[in-house]
Amino acid sequence: MQLLNRQAETVTQLTERIREAIDAAIGRVLVRGEISGLRQSAAGHTYFTLKDSTSQIQCVLFKAASLRLKTLPEDGQEAVIHGRVSLYHPRSVYQIIVDWVDPAGEGALHQAFVEMRDRLAAEGLFDESGKRQAGLFPQSFIQSVFVQKFSWNYLFFSQKTFRINSGDLFL
């Protein structure tokens, strides 16, 4: 029962120990992957996810580092990232703090998306002529809302159909 004799750590203390272990064990990295979910903050920092076919990791490119780059990263771009792995304290999430980004072409996941989009377009699924105009007053519609449990159970289990202006409301 030696564990009970120890002083309990705070969440912040444990997170700090984990951050120190990550910094000591991993440090600087060179990682290849596809950039996804790229967004910029008002402060000028760039946030994105670097992923491959089975894994992903969050990345942050601070404004000072982005000013040193010739080109900024783009969504769907395959890239080699240089930086250091660190832990973001408030959420206890590990991430790469990016020093530089070397573009390596278009990512495989983005290419697959473009190929599928082109194939579906060739089948005519995005063709405007195949689309119907939505009526001003639809004949029926389904409404799904979150209500209190009692009301939800009543609506769900009664399976009533209500008549509204010649249209049907299915609950």
> Is-above-0.75 flag for pTM?
no
Domain coordinates of the chain in residue numbers? 2-112
Amino acid (one-letter) located at 39 = R
- The pLDDT profile of the chain, 171 residues, written as one tens digit per residue, is 566 667 888 988 988 898 888 888 888 899 999 999 999 999 999 999 999 989 999 999 999 998 888 878 888 888 999 999 988 888 888 899 999 998 876 666 667 777 888 888 888 877 777 777 766 665 555 554 444 455 555 555 555 554 445 555 444
Q: Looking at residue 24, what is its pLDDT?
A: 85
CATH superfamily to which 2-112 belongs: Nucleic acid-binding proteins (2.40.50.140)
Whole-number Å distance between alpha carbons of 52 and 109: 8
Nearest CA among 158, 30, 151, 36 for reference residue 85:
30
Round to whole Å and give the CA distance between 143 and 169: 7
